[in-house]
């Protein structure tokens, strides 16, 4: 059986290497390594017009971390600390995510990817978490991941991926879910109530996490995506499980509301 092709969205930024300092299409190597280690064949999806046509050639989609989603997409004025907005990337990723869901293609959102999914479904974002929480625990310093616990809803897809309901995650985001997008359910929260995982019931695999699983050794989200992509490519079905309808994390005793953003 051939390996499923997993498309990963990417950055377009000014970058330096060797003698060069130019605009580049790039992605942290960890995303590629984790997809490959999980058994997928990673390909990069640049922010170019009509990139959604690539959905005809891939079996699963990772919407990667990155800068902030343009607040105009959720009818808000920009906060003074909202930054690294890239309109071309927004356009590409929203088209890719919408097209993938329409095909019932497996989707994994990571950090910014969760926020893209939430805004695509009509939700809104808290643009700067420290304004709400009073500290920078979710992004402690530039270029430095924080760590915190996440409580997952028992029986949710995310909890089944990890095999437990309490996990420790790498975090780097200053925005997060505020109002939840249509059809999404919250399946993980931080101790401060920040939404950390969402799922879209009715899809074979539509999972998004606010943390950065690509920097940790646990491959669970990637192996889950690759298994779902393999099944989708060959049968269009979910791999060996019944469809689940997870419940909100507040049912597990987590605090309500909260927010957090992307990198």
Angle (CA) 67-71-72 rounded to 5° is: 130
Map tokens 């891939």 to a residue: 58
CA distances from 141 to 145, 146, 192, 216 (A): 8, 8, 19, 19
pLDDT digits (tens, 9 = 90+) for 159-204: 999 999 999 999 999 999 999 999 999 999 999 999 999 999 999 9
Residue-level pLDDT at 173 = 97
Q: Assign 165 to helix, strand or coil.
A: coil
- Whether 106 contacts 238, CB under 8 Å: no
With a cut of 50, say whether residue 241 has pLDDT above it: no
Q: Which domains does the chain have, with CATH numbers?
A: 5-252 (3.40.50.880)
Mean pLDDT of the chain: 91
**Residues noted as catalytic:** 111, 212, 214
Task: Kindly state the tokens that stand for 54.
Answer: 């690539």
Q: Which residue has the higher pLDDT, 182 or 249?
A: 182
Tell me the C-alpha distance between 140 and 171, whole Å: 9
Q: State CA 222 to chain mean position distance.
A: 12
User: Over 70: is that where the pLDDT of 244 sits?
Assistant: no
Q: How far is it, in rounded angstroms, from Cα 96 to Cα 107? A: 10
User: What pLDDT score was predicted for residue 235?
Assistant: 79
């Amino acid at each position: 059986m051939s390996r499923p092709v997993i498309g990963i969205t990417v950055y377009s930024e000014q970058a330096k290497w060797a003698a060069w300092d130019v605009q580049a299409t790039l992605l942290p190597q960890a995303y590629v390594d984790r997809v490959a280690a999980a058994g997928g064949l990673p390909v990069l999806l640049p922010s170019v017009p009509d990139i959604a046509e690539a959905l005809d050639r891939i079996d699963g989609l990772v919407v990667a971390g990155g800068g902030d989603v343009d607040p105009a997409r959720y009818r808000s004025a920009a906060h003074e600390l909202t930054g690294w907005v890239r309109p071309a990337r927004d356009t590409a990723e929203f088209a890719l995510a919408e097209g993938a869901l329409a095909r019932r293609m497996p989707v994994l959102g990571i950090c910014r990817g969760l926020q893209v999914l939430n805004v695509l479904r009509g939700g809104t974002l808290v643009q700067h978490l420290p304004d709400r929480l009073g500290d920078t625990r979710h992004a402690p310093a530039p270029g430095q991941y924080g760590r915190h616990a996440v409580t997952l809803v028992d029986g949710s897809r995310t909890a089944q991926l990890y095999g437990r309901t309490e996990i420790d995650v790498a975090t780097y985001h200053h925005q997060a879910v505020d109002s939840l997008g249509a059809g999404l359910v919250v399946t993980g929260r931080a101790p401060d109530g920040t939404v950390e995982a969402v799922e879209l019931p009715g899809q074979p695999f539509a999972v998004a996490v606010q943390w950065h699983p690509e920097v940790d050794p646990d491959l669970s989200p990637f192996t889950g995506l690759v298994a779902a992509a393999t099944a989708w490519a060959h049968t269009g079905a979910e791999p060996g499980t019944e469809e689940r309808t997870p419940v909100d994390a507040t049912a597990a005793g987590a605090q309500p509301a909260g927010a957090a953003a992307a990198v």
